Copies of this chain bind each other. A is one copy, B any other.
Amino acid sequence: MSEAANSTKGDYIQMDEVDWVPFPEHLCTGDIKFKLLHVSPERGGWTAIYDCKAGSSFGPHTHLGPSEYFLLKGRMQVRGGEAAGGATAVAPGYAYELCDVHHDHTEFDEDSELLMIVYGPLNYIDDGGKTIALVGCSQMLEFWNASR
């Protein structure tokens, strides 16, 4: 079933029968797990669901293509949250995020669940702005296969 992520066929995935795997430690802090649902090399993107425990956050990154997200549970502070000029998403929330958006702080202050449809690679950077990892559909598939 879970090989659907690597399938060129259409495929149904019973999401609650697929195990969560840890999201790579160098790309986040705290407890973030994910399930890869689909990779689409022709659009250079992928679809995944993330389980983000209270206190976790994604490392700073820039989206090199647009993306869409659905926050199904919890709360997510995007670009520092509303207090810092960013957005505070509260479930059920949706956003279309533009190509080239930079997410320097993406924090979860409650247990949260996030669906993402991504249309291009993510450039994870360090404090000096240097690339730590370029994460496209191939890298997501490597993370997924390595953890299982």
Contact = CB atoms under 8 A, between A and B. Distances in A.
Interface of A: 4, 7-16, 37-38, 40-44, 47, 49, 64-66, 68, 70, 72, 78, 87, 89-90, 92-101, 115, 117, 119-121, 123, 131, 134, 136-138
A8 B10 contact: no
Contact of A95 (B12, B97, B131): B12
A47 B96 contact: yes
B93 A13 contact: yes
Contacts of A42: 40-43, 66, 99, 119
Given A95-B13, A97-B10, A65 B47 contact: no
17 contacts: A9-B98, A11-B95, A12-B78, A12-B93, A41-B66, A42-B43, A43-B65, A44-B44, A49-B94, A64-B64, A64-B120, A64-B121, A65-B65, A68-B117, A120-B136, A131-B131, A131-B134
A78 B119 CA distance: 26
Contact of A44 (B4, B8, B40, B65): B65
Which 10 pairs from chain A and chain B are nearest by CB? A44-B65, A42-B42, A44-B120, A10-B98, A15-B92, A41-B99, A12-B95, A38-B96, A64-B121, A13-B94
